[in-house]
Amino acid sequence: MSTKTKSHVTRKIYSLAEVARHNTSSSTLVTYSGKVYDLTPFLADHPGGDDIILEYAGKDIGAAMSDESQHVHSRAAYEMMDEFQVGELGGGEKIVSEDWVPDENFHPDETDLLSDYNMNKFIDLNKPLLMQVWNAPWTKEYYLSQVHEPRHLKESARMFGSNLLEPFTRTKFWVVPLVWWPIAAFLAVLSIEQFTNPAITAGNLLQFPPPISSLPTPTSGALAAWFGCFSAGIFIWTLLEYTLHRFLFHVDYYLPDAPWAITLHFLLHGVHHYLPMDRLRLVMPPLLFFVLETPFTKLAHVVFPKAMANGIISGAFFMYVMYDLGHYALHHTRLPAYLAEQKRYHLAHHYKNFELGFGVTSKVWDYVFGTMLVTTTK
C-alpha cells in the first residue's frame, strides 16, 4: 500500500464508539492525535508482532507510541502511519441522555454554530444542508450518532441553495389543514353519496356548478356506513402513524451506508431530529405527504369497495391533519394537563431515547408493541 494510493481514498469521520467496535484482527482500527488508522493490513508486518497492536485495537495508541519501554518507534514509523489513515475522530458533547428530565416548558439554548461544527465535523448550519449531507465524509454510524443530537436555531436552516427549491422544504402548520381537510371533506361526501347510490363518481361531484339538486338524498344507513368507515380510517391512521415512524423514519439499523440512503433518511426524518424545534419543518410538506399516502390510498381502493375506501381515506386524512397539528403543538404550544404529559413523552423521544416512544398522538401502540418510553426519573 502506498501513500499515493491512500491519498485518493475519501477519509471519513468516525465516533469513538465506532472505532471501539473494530477491535479484531480482521478489522483493526486505532486512533492517534484525533486521527483514525486502519492497521489491519499492517498486523503481519509489524516488527514488534501483531499482539502489541491487537492489545490496542479499537483504542487510542498515543500512550503506546510514546512508551519507549514497550517499543521504540522511529521517525519513519510515524511517517508510515499516514499510509494507514482512514479518517478523523468527530463527536463532542452529547445532548440526548437517559438522564434528561422531560419538561413541557422546555426552551433549549441556541447552538453555537462555529463551535459545534469545529467540534463535531458534521454539518455547517450556516450553509445549505442537503448537499453537505450528500457529499459528506461520514460513515453511516457517525451520521446516525450526530443527526439524533439536536441543534437549535432561531431561524430555519436552508435545505437548498436554490430559492426555487427551498420553499418546498418549509411548511407553516396551517397549510396542512388548508390542503388536506377540504380533500377529506370531499371524500366524505363522495363516500356518503356512493353508499346511497354506487353509480356516483368523483366526476359527478366535481361538475360546475355543483349538481346538488340532482344528487340522491343520503339515507341514515348511508350516513352510518360512512361514519363507520370514517372511524376505521382514524384507527388505521393511528397504526400507520406508529408504523411509519418506527419502521420507515427510524430505519436506522438497516439504512445502507450510501450517500443516497443517508440523504433520503435526512430528508424524511433526520432533519427533524437534528433540528427538532424548527417551526417550518414540524409538519409534512403537502408534496411529501402526497408521495407517502398514494400507495396506501391505492391499496384501499383495491381492498375495499369505492364507498368504503373513500370513507376510510376521509377518516385517515382527517386524523393525519390532527396528527400534524398535534405534533406542532407538542413542540411549540402550552398544553392542558393530559396533552402536557404527551408533550413530555414526545420530547423525551427526541432528548432522552429516540429508539422508543414512537407514538405522537397517543402512547397506545407503544404500549401494545413494547416501545413505551419511561419519562420519569428515579
Q: Is the pLDDT of residue 270 over 70?
A: yes
Q: Is 265 annotated as a binding residue?
A: no
Q: Are residues 312 and 207 in the same domain?
A: yes
Q: What share of the chain has pLDDT > 70, as a percent?
A: 91
**Which H helix or E strand runs over 23?**
strand 23-24
The DSSP symbol for 158 reads P
User: Band of the pLDDT at 13, cuts 50, 70, 90?
Assistant: confident
Residues 57 and 183 in one domain: no
Same domain, 180 and 83: no
| 230 contacts 312 by C-beta, under 8 angstroms | yes
If we measure between CA atoms, which residue out of 292, 290, 317 comes closest to residue 232?
317
Tens of pLDDT, residues 291-302: 999 999 999 999
For the cut 50, the answer to whether the pLDDT of residue 4 exceeds it is no
Q: Is 301 annotated as a binding residue?
A: no
pLDDT at 5: 42
Question: Are 170 and 82 members of one domain?
Answer: no
Q: In this structure, are 212 and 349 located in the same domain?
A: yes
Q: Does 73 share its domain with 175?
A: no
Q: Looking at the structure, do residues 184 and 80 belong to the same domain, yes or no?
A: no
Final residue of a domain: which of 89, 121, 144? Answer: 89
272 annotated ligand binder: yes
148 belongs to an annotated ligand binding site:
no
Residue 149 belongs to some domain of the structure: no
Max CA pair span of the chain: 98
With respect to residue 3, please indicate whether it lies within any of the assigned structural domains.
no
The domain tally of the chain equals 2
- Is residue 194 domain-shared with residue 282, that is, in the same domain? yes
Residue 332 is labelled as binding a ligand: no
In a domain, 148, yes or no: no
Residues 85 and 197 in one domain: no
Report which of residues 194 and 57 the model is more confident about.
Answer: 194
Has 327 been labeled as part of a binding site? yes
For residue 161, being part of any structural domain is answered with: no
Q: How many CA atoms lie within 13 A of 130 on its CB side?
A: 13
DSSP 154: S
Q: Which residue has the higher pLDDT, 101 or 175?
A: 175
Mean pLDDT confidence for 170-198: 95
- Judge whether 153 lies within some domain: no
pLDDT, residue 8, reads: 44
Per mean pLDDT, which range of 104-113, 345-354, 360-369 is the poorest?
104-113
| Residue 345 banded pLDDT, cuts 50, 70, 90 | very high
| 3-state class (DSSP) for residue 12 | strand
At residue 305, the pLDDT reads 96
258-261 own/partner pairs: CB under 8 Å, 24+ apart: 259/133, 259/134, 259/135, 259/136, 261/140
Q: What is the pLDDT of residue 10?
A: 64
Angle among Cα 238, 291, 174 to the nearest 5 degrees reads: 65
pLDDT > 50? residue 255: yes
Contact residues for 80 (Cβ-Cβ < 8 A; gap 6+): none
| Residue 96: predicted pLDDT | 82
**CB-hemisphere CA count at 13 Å for 259?**
10
Q: What is the pTM of this model?
A: 0.79
Q: Is 8 annotated for ligand binding?
A: no
How far does the chain reach from its first CA to its final CA, in angstroms? 54
The CATH code of the domain that includes 78 is 3.10.120.10
Q: 68: pLDDT confidence band, cut at 50, 70 and 90?
A: low
71 marked as part of a ligand binding site: no
Find the mean pLDDT for residues 191-202: 90
Range 179-191 average pLDDT? 96
Average pLDDT on 347-360 reads 95
Write out pLDDT tens, residues 203-234. 877 776 666 666 678 889 999 999 999 999 99
Residue 297 counted as domain residue:
yes
Domain extent at residue 332: 166-369
Residue 30 is assigned to a structural domain of this protein: yes
**Within a domain: residue 118?**
no
Tell me: do 200 and 325 sit in the same domain.
Answer: yes
Confirm or deny that 107 is annotated as ligand binding. no
Residue where a domain terminates, one of 89, 121, 142? 89
Residue that is last in its domain, among 27, 56, 89? 89
Both 188 and 43 in one domain: the answer is: no
- Per-residue pLDDT, 213: 62
Confirm if 304 and 312 have CB atoms less than 8 A apart: yes
Confidence check: pLDDT of 7 > 60: no
Q: Are 50 and 176 in a shared domain?
A: no
